[in-house]
Amino acid sequence: MTITMYQASIPVLQKMLANLSGILTKAADYAEERKMDASVVLETRIFPDMFPLIRQVQITTDFAKSCGARLAGIPVPSFPDTETTFADLQTRLAATQEFLASLKPEQIDGTEERTISFNIHEHELNFKGLDYLTGFAIPNFYFHMTAAYAILRMCGMDLGKKDFLGKM
């Protein structure tokens, strides 16, 4: 049995975004129970040159939606980075999930050799679909999701692998 490009991308992103939503729900509850200012948690970063939690979540959703859109050959939806609360982040996650749910397998399957080109910080990047998915989009998605998770662990939250990976 072979795995399709759709199976290797959209359901994986959807599941992990759902897990991130659960983690953020726990984070909001954690801050409230401890009478912490939620903005302090949202602006926490692991090291001064790293992005804070709120930006890590924004970038996680950016990689999810751009992955789906680029593989499908459609414009990447633009979300303004205006979130300031846990509720705002949940809205962004829901919008990302809604976009991913709109993508159909036939839009993505067979894109292993599709040329995917885009600019990041004035640098043009060029990939074949499979290389884009496995060597760029998914690793970057997991990097920023992991950073968000690590920030919350650093804040003292009782999170574990089951929160990150979800139900098996």
Mean pLDDT, residues 6-22 taken together: 98
Q: Where are the domains of the chain?
A: 12-103+126-165
Per the CB < 8 A criterion, the answer to whether 19 and 166 are in contact is yes
Q: Residue 139 pLDDT > 90, yes or no?
A: yes
Q: Smallest Cα–Cα separation from 14: which of 84, 86, 102? A: 102
Q: Residue 15 pLDDT > 90, yes or no?
A: yes
Mean pLDDT, residues 58-71 taken together: 98
Structure tokens given for 43: 């602006």
Mean pLDDT, residues 37-63 taken together: 97
Percent of the chain with pLDDT over 90: 93
Computed over every residue of the chain, the mean pLDDT equals 96
pTM of the predicted structure, to 2 decimals: 0.96
Q: What is the pLDDT of residues 75-105, one digit of tens each?
A: 999 999 999 999 999 999 999 999 999 999 9
Please report which confidence band the pLDDT of residue 1 belongs to, taking 50, 70 and 90 as the band edges.
confident
For the 12-103+126-165 domain, the top CATH level (class) is mainly alpha
Please report which confidence band the pLDDT of residue 155 belongs to, taking 50, 70 and 90 as the band edges.
very high
Q: What is the pLDDT of residues 115-133, one digit of tens each?
A: 999 999 899 999 999 999 9
CA distance 91 to 101: 15
Q: Smallest Cα–Cα separation from 54: which of 147, 135, 164? A: 147
Q: Residue 9 pLDDT > 80, yes or no?
A: yes
Q: Residue 167 pLDDT > 90, yes or no?
A: no
Q: Residue 61 pLDDT > 80, yes or no?
A: yes
Model pLDDT, residue 34 = 93
